[in-house]
Amino acid sequence: MWRIESARLIAGLARVVHDIGVAEELAQDALVAALEQWPESGVPRNPGAWLMAAAKHRAIDVLRRDKRVERKHQEIGYRLEAEQKAAPDFETSVDQPVEDDLLRLIFTACHPVLSAEARVALTLRMLGGLTTGEIARAFLVAEPTIAQRIVRAKRTLSDAGVPFEVPRGAELAARLASVLEVIYLIFNEGYAATSGEDWMRPALCEDALRLGRILAELAPQEAEVHGLVALMEIQASRSNARVGPSGEPILLLEQNRALWHHVLIRRGLAALERAQNASAQPGAYTLQAAIAACHARARTPEETDWRRIAGLYAELGRLTPSPVIELNRAVAVAMADGPAAGLELVDALESERTLENYHLLPSVRGDFLFKLGRRSEARREFERAASMTQNARERELLLARAENSR
């Protein structure tokens, strides 16, 4: 119940107290009260309203007792008391503004004043309902490190005076980009773990998908929100086919497509259509979703429209120039026109400093060399890629490919 209600509760409290840290403390106090009372009284008909009422009562009590409280907090106390008198029906008061409150909480937790790591941790804590320990385990980071990130993030937001509001005009676009980036970072870490023993962390994918779906309901006119949801739905549809019985990675062209989750594919294609209808100029997430859709629509690897995929990567590269996008385009070109054409594009990326430690560059190059019959060179590239990755499963896959190149 707490996992379901906590984001709504914190969002509603933050609207009143204008401080995420204080809002979370009040929400935790309400949780303690529920743990003490519900075993005897039973779970109330509207748990969210009960928790909100308990948190507001607690806020009033604390602020009244604290003689050293700042004038700002006194005003909050008066506001809470007035709200309680004006709206004794807490079921009504908690349900009325929940959409706006959640949207404000998303934009606040993902504020650009915070580092990317802090935004991810705070978002998972406030909106995902995850504990500090769960976040630490998901990202293979020490729990005290995650705890410090969350504490510092709250302090930074408070010190910077970040308003608890949805930005408007030009600022909305900039802030929305930050929100989408955070959700995409969470999904990517779940879809292809950067380190550790597991190839995937499905729980993170599920958290990102849930956040994306919430955002799509709260901001239905934003094309890129639907584009990101489409991308995540379609990518997540392959999860069951991406991992073998022993947890080993299975690459896209080798996957059993009967295992793909077709409900997720249909949801993704529908979200992609909404994104394309919402804007004549597709954004980066919409273009990536269109690429994923090409794979989803192909019943077999041979039916994949690689020329369209190469064209979409070219369009994406013009919109957001990146050597990683160019590397992906090289793969599509190789599938359409042969490995020699792909190798030519990859060789042009060898001097890119941003790809110096990017293991997929030698991995892709090794694949092209192997297909061209240059096996000794391919083996060296696979070994080089294996030495770069921090994911144990991926390292095993690359070393196996190196051995097969002998």
Q: For residue 43, is it within any domain?
A: yes
Has residue 90 been placed in a domain? yes
Answer yes or no: is 16 within a domain: yes
Confirm whether 83 is domain-assigned. Answer: yes
Assigned domain for 78 exists: yes
Q: What is the pLDDT of residue 230?
A: 98
- Distance (Å, rounded) from C-alpha 369 to C-alpha 375? 7
pLDDT at 196: 78
Please give the share of the chain, as a percent, with pLDDT higher than 70.
91
Judged against a pLDDT cut of 50, whether residue 185 lies above it is answered with yes
187 residue type, one letter = F
Evaluate if residue 174 carries a pLDDT over 80.
no
Higher pLDDT, 229 or 198: 229
Question: Residue 102: what pLDDT?
Answer: 81
pLDDT classification of 383: cutoffs 50, 70, 90? very high
Q: Contact, 110 vs 184, CB < 8 A? A: no
pLDDT in tens, 42-84: 999 998 889 999 998 888 877 666 655 555 555 666 666 665 5
3-state class (DSSP) for residue 249: strand
With beta carbons less than 8 A apart as the criterion, state whether 286 and 230 touch: yes
State yes or no: pLDDT of 98 exceeds 70: no
R_g (Cα) of the chain, nearest Å: 24
- Do 235 and 258 meet the contact criterion of CB atoms below 8 Å apart? no
**Mean pLDDT calculated for residue range 135-143:** 81
Q: Where are the beta strands (DSSP E) in 279-368?
A: none
Rounded to the nearest 5 degrees, what angle is found at the Cα of 312, between the Cα atoms of 278 and 112?
A: 60
Q: What is the pLDDT of residue 80?
A: 60
- Per-residue pLDDT of 218-232, as tens digits, reads 889 999 999 999 999
Share of the chain above pLDDT 90, in %: 56
- For every residue of 136-170, DSSP letters joined together read HHHHT--HHHHHHHHHHHHHHHHHTT--SS---HH
Question: Quick one: average pLDDT of 103-128?
Answer: 89
Q: In the structure, what pLDDT confidence band is assigned to residue 92 with cuts at 50, 70 and 90?
A: very low
- Look at residue 73 in the predicted model and tell me its pLDDT: 58
- Dump pLDDT digits (tens) for 323-363: 999 999 999 999 999 999 999 999 999 999 889 889 999 99
The predicted pLDDT at position 90 comes to: 38
Does residue 135 form part of some domain? no
Mean pLDDT of 181-194: 87
Range of the domain at 46: 1-96
Count how many domains the chain has.
Answer: 1
Q: Give the range among 53-67, 270-284, 327-341, 388-402 with minimum mean pLDDT.
A: 53-67
d(CA 269, CA 212): 15
| Mean pLDDT score of the chain | 88
- Check residue 171 and give its pLDDT: 79
What's the average model confidence in pLDDT over 179-205?
A: 86
Least confident of 84-88, 251-255, 361-365: 84-88
Q: How confident is the model at residue 192 (pLDDT cuts 50, 70, 90)?
A: confident
pLDDT of residue 66: 60
Least confident of 2-6, 47-51, 240-244, 345-349: 2-6
Q: So what's the pLDDT on residue 155? A: 93
Confidence band of 15 (pLDDT split at 50, 70, 90): confident
Give the pLDDT score at 363. Answer: 97
- Buried b or exposed e, range 233-267, using 16+ CB within 10 angstroms: bbbbbbbebbbeeeeebbeeeebebeebbeebbeb
In a domain, 245, yes or no: no
Rounded-to-10 torsion of CA 112, 113, 118, 122:
-80
157-163 contact pairs (CB < 8 A, 24+): 157/20, 157/21, 157/108, 157/111, 157/113, 157/114, 158/19, 158/20, 158/21, 160/111, 160/113, 162/108, 162/111, 162/113, 163/18
Q: Residue 36 falls within a domain, yes or no?
A: yes
Residue 380 has pLDDT above 80, yes or no: yes
Can you tell me the distance from the alpha carbon of 242 to that of 332, in angstroms, rounded to the nearest whole number?
20
